[in-house]
Structure 1
């Protein structure tokens, strides 16, 4: 009898602990996750948790600590409208200041009890019978009625798959995993890629290293950097008169809106920016051969343009070489290009961007029938308003496909968070347990987006970019003004959704069609 009791106790002790239950689970503690959490608190909703794999909040701005990391949107707009910061020290903030702002937001809004840092999500599955999401982390399991995916498009670094890279005897790291302990002073450093991160890093590396080799596949459009200090009188003005900051935010927002016709409808309107970029290049690079290498052969705006007043001088420096021949292989002592030249280096920095179309997190989200999002999307991400996805009830994406408007991504996040809150209020009013966007509604949205982007500079500007997937579809931008996107996400229209719960609602019957439930 005692032995039986002992075995029973042993089995009980070996059972996994019960799942934690919350109404809302948020994956990620960057701008998206924190913004969602802050607005939930403002709405009086405290039954939520934020699951973050890192040891700190901050998302992109916690991870990207490379030298010179800086936002390319003015700080007044690259912040929450409901949490203004009058203490920015620069017009375009550097990484430490943005990270500090996000930490302050978490503290000021009392998010500490809701944060679960070091909790990487290993699996998140929709339980059809129970009507909730089951989220498995390295530190326990959660059950949530609502799941918000705020992983962000720049959360998984993309590294170049170069033959022989494993044989390299020096240091190799990505810009998003900067090795601060590695001293490159006087060394021979290679930077692969010339995108936004590389444009910021190269001017910081060039004066320190002995030789800098920049491997460029496609040149980037560079404009003079308008950054300036916001200390002294300008900062005191923002601190004393909050309305001034609101007006400045509106003005910057309207300037970005004024560029939309050129980016989306008539790329010819961007000619003045093309001329400005060419003049900037001519002024800073005297060598004609180098200037030819650095002159883009595609229209301004097709790839992400950026600001810098120090990038071109760094490339023109005596210790820098710009290589445009493709990389053939990596050897223990350097990089061999397609022209047969070996470039001896002892450090390789990957400025090769992020996995925007094949983020591993997509394989961990399993919707109706257990299908992972990576399988549903299969390299062609789509969603309704960049936020909800057919086959994934009660899942809301922030900065999802075709949600980005040509302004601060924080503007997009705030619009989507407003939409999520609208959905939650509608669910409460109707006593609904789940909502899922209809397949035909999502398809019509995607078709309209594709039509709207057909003549945009991103689609027709003559370049390849991360905006386009392997099939050439633009899966990033919303084709229009941010005011239009905000208007469409202000309130949910439940007629566009399958719903389950009390009252008259539409419920899946398991065959792909729907039936009435009461």
Structure 2
């Protein structure tokens, strides 16, 4: 373990679950010379940004929290946005992270200096700082994807993205267009459909939607969690293995997913009266190829008379209407873009330059790849949290993040034996790991032919981990220095 005086300077970009959890673990290990850089005015990551009506998690509360910081009084099995954000803020307070956090500090460029083995960081306001270790925790779902809709700039009504919800605009009695039917729309459409006059829902492709096993926790249940720590751990473990078992369906036994598809069809038939609407909400691709969504009020919302499901492509936007490919006009007062995020553009728009001034985007010209989702050859002492191919479709990302925390700490321990040196993953180890991941993905349900946000512009899955989370934890249990080279400063 490093003592505080001997600890290297560490910069962490982002204050969501990844950045906050990493900072806690660093401080617990004795690394106190650290700075968290946050572009916004407060912590929270995606749970700060996504404040739309109905925002909530689709992973169970007790598993979507740090194992080292359990919360016993979750209000529901699946926590709402505000409660998750409050949990993150609680962690900041409890572990005294505020002195380490710099808000309004957007990183524009990170450049590795081979003379000193330091990362030179340039912020949007022109300020600069140095760090020996750079840890990115920017997440995969932090940059909203704005669709290329002709005429959108000319629309005279209100336009906003679901991840930048306009709370000053009252939707009551308005004619509203929602573009997209992904994870965010699944949650907010049922909320706003009750109060708007008309809701035109533009769907490019349907989503598989399953019931959400959600309910409030009773007080006696919360008391059990608080006073019987073993019960809390047992409950969390049960949830973990229940979720983990689903990896078999995604990666090996795809026919198991057909049972979920049948369940989704039954739910649609039970809630939607109009046979044409019912037909159009059932996808034409294999279940699991895109993200499976969970909701108890999506199909009832579609069934509402004031919700118009439009499956024809959008031709363009006029001053007061959306026009589809058949020329039909849909007069609206507001347009809400539920078009997701630029998930495959890792670390963008930060300009990252490694050894010999090589741009990370150049290293990733054929697709993003990182050794164990964490390290990229040519970019020493750079550790990515929630990097390429570490996303999950079946379990909690916090389990993966905690595996990465341990791996980064192991890397810092290795560097402690070589003061001033930098750790750079070997290119052959990176290529071997990436090839193994892509081979495993080629037989998964995500490779069954649909177009999803898991795929980059080349059709390569750079997002998902192709197996069990416990196998990822085993793979990241420690840094094997044979996978890396130690670089001494050039001067």
Query: The TM-score by the shorter chain falls in which range?
Result: over 0.9
Asked whether the 8 Å contact 1:159–1:352 carries over to 2, the reply is yes
Task: Measure, in 2, the Cα distance between the counterparts of 1:363 and 1:372.
Answer: 10
Asked whether the 8 Å contact 1:22–1:145 carries over to 2, the reply is yes
Instruction: Establish whether residue 423 from structure 1 lines up as the match of residue 411 from structure 2.
Output: yes
What is the Cα deviation at residue 431 of structure 1?
A: 3.6
Instruction: Establish whether residue 122 from structure 1 lines up as the match of residue 86 from structure 2.
Output: no
What is the Cα deviation at residue 378 of structure 1?
A: 2.7
Asked whether the 8 Å contact 2:107–2:350 carries over to 1, the reply is no
1:47-96 alpha-carbon deviations (Å, 9 max, x no partner): 11000011111000011111110000000000000111111101100000
SS in 2 for 1:392: coil
Aligned to 2:265: 278
Task: Measure, in 1, the Cα distance between the counterparts of 2:231 and 2:347.
Answer: 43
Aligned to 1:325: 312
Asked whether the 8 Å contact 1:125–1:134 carries over to 2, the reply is yes
Range moving further from structure 2, 487-496 or 264-273 = 264-273
1:321-370 alpha-carbon deviations (Å, 9 max, x no partner): 00000011100011111011011111000000011223573542211222
Aligned to 1:10: none
- For 1:344-355, list aligned pairs within 5 A: 344-355=331-342
SS in 2 for 1:143: strand
Asked whether the 8 Å contact 1:432–1:499 carries over to 2, the reply is no
Range moving further from structure 2, 80-89 or 265-274 = 265-274
1:266-324 alpha-carbon deviations (Å, 9 max, x no partner): 21122211111111111111221111100111111111111111111111111110000
From 275, 278, 287, the equivalent of 1:288 is: 275
Aligned to 1:438: 426
Pair 1:498–1:368, CA change in 2 (3 A): same
Pair 1:379–1:92, CA change in 2 (3 A): farther
Pair 1:72–1:471, CA change in 2 (3 A): same
Aligned-residue Cα RMSD (Å) equals 1.6
Aligned to 2:79: 93
Range moving further from structure 2, 329-338 or 404-413 = 404-413
Task: Measure, in 1, the Cα distance between the counterparts of 2:365 and 2:320.
Answer: 38
1:179-234 alpha-carbon deviations (Å, 9 max, x no partner): 00001110000000000000001001101100000000010111111111013111
Task: Measure, in 2, the Cα distance between the counterparts of 1:400 and 1:82.
Answer: 22
SS in 2 for 1:255: helix
Task: Measure, in 1, the Cα distance between the counterparts of 2:315 and 2:228.
Answer: 58
Aligned to 2:52: 66
From 194, 219, 230, the equivalent of 1:232 is: 219
From 143, 150, 153, the equivalent of 2:140 is: 153
Range moving further from structure 2, 467-476 or 192-201 = 467-476
- For 1:172-191, list aligned pairs within 5 A: 172-191=159-178
Aligned to 1:310: 297
What is the Cα deviation at residue 159 of structure 1?
A: 0.6
What is the Cα deviation at residue 442 of structure 1?
A: 0.7
Q: Which has the larger radius of gyration?
A: 1
Task: Measure, in 2, the Cα distance between the counterparts of 1:42 and 1:284.
Answer: 51
Aligned to 2:24: 38
Task: Measure, in 2, the Cα distance between the counterparts of 1:432 and 1:204.
Answer: 55
Asked whether the 8 Å contact 2:316–2:324 carries over to 1, the reply is yes
- For 1:268-417, list aligned pairs within 5 A: 268-358=255-345, 361-378=348-365, 380-405=367-392, 406-417=394-405
1 or 2 for the larger relative contact order (CA 8 Å, sep ≥6)? Answer: 2
Asked whether the 8 Å contact 2:10–2:35 carries over to 1, the reply is yes
Task: Measure, in 2, the Cα distance between the counterparts of 1:373 and 1:155.
Answer: 19
Asked whether the 8 Å contact 1:334–1:342 carries over to 2, the reply is yes
Instruction: Establish whether residue 103 from structure 1 lines up as the match of residue 74 from structure 2.
Output: no
SS in 2 for 1:361: coil
Task: Measure, in 2, the Cα distance between the counterparts of 1:241 and 1:323.
Answer: 51
Asked whether the 8 Å contact 1:326–1:338 carries over to 2, the reply is yes
What is the Cα deviation at residue 139 of structure 1?
A: 6.6
Instruction: Establish whether residue 133 from structure 1 lines up as the match of residue 119 from structure 2.
Output: yes
Task: Measure, in 1, the Cα distance between the counterparts of 2:193 and 2:201.
Answer: 10
What is the Cα deviation at residue 372 of structure 1?
A: 2.4
1:471-509 alpha-carbon deviations (Å, 9 max, x no partner): 2111111221111100110101111112124xxxxx9x9
Pair 1:359–1:454, CA change in 2 (3 A): closer
Which runs of 5 or more residues in structure 1 are unaligned?
Answer: 1-20, 502-506, 510-516
1:394-433 alpha-carbon deviations (Å, 9 max, x no partner): 1010110011243111111111111000000111134461
Aligned to 2:3: none
Aligned to 2:40: 54
Asked whether the 8 Å contact 2:111–2:119 carries over to 1, the reply is yes
Aligned to 2:61: 75
Range moving further from structure 2, 242-251 or 167-176 = 242-251
Instruction: Establish whether residue 212 from structure 1 lines up as the match of residue 189 from structure 2.
Output: no
Asked whether the 8 Å contact 1:270–1:300 carries over to 2, the reply is yes
TM-score by length of 1: 0.91
